[in-house]
Amino acid sequence: MTGQATPRPFAVSALIFLHIFLGLNGLAGGLAFVLAPDGHLLQMPFSHLRNTPFSSFLIPGLLLLFFLGIYPLAVAYSLWKRPSWRWPDAINPFKRTHWSWAASLAAGVIAIIWILVQIQWIPVGSLHIFIFGWGALILVVTLLPVVRRYFVRP
């Protein structure tokens, strides 16, 4: 699919940006927690862990690093390049659509679920609302007809 002459719609470029922004934020937050599991780099009070199954921010940091950092950046790359890799198709439920489109949906859902789980333990703040909205925006843009058509296989 990488050799297609179809011009990239603006909505697809916007979707790529949404994933890059999410991924860079996830990388920054995740690395900060991995480097300082006590939360001091992000000025996160250790008391936020009181009602959680975690004794430090290390595991949440690793999860954040992977699911909201590396994964959205990999999705952005796949949306941009549409690589012809076949192995992701094994878990792609939308066989007529390039797997990167399904990966984009998954990234939006992951961001929303991340926040919904997090607010079970941590008081809701503006960052929670922002990331929840960002994940919802990823879903909305991914579901736009022009975006879906761009990723439909010939």
> In a 3-state reduction of DSSP, which class is residue 152?
strand
Flag whether 132 is in a domain: yes
pLDDT digits (tens, 9 = 90+) for 115-148: 999 998 888 889 999 999 999 999 999 999 999 9
Flag whether 86 is in a domain: yes
Give this prediction's pTM. 0.91
Range of the domain at 80: 14-28+59-151
pLDDT digits (tens, 9 = 90+) for 17-26: 999 999 999 9
Flag whether 49 is in a domain: no
Flag whether 47 is in a domain: no
Contact present, 146 and 14 (Cβ < 8 Å): no
pLDDT digits (tens, 9 = 90+) for 76-95: 999 999 999 989 999 999 99
Flag whether 126 is in a domain: yes
**Encoded tokens for 59:** 């595991």
Give 152's strand partners.
97
pLDDT at 48: 87
Average pLDDT, the chain: 94
Flag whether 43 is in a domain: no
Flag whether 3 is in a domain: no
**Encoded tokens for 88:** 């992701």
Flag whether 74 is in a domain: yes
Considering its fold, how many domains does the chain have in total? Answer: 1
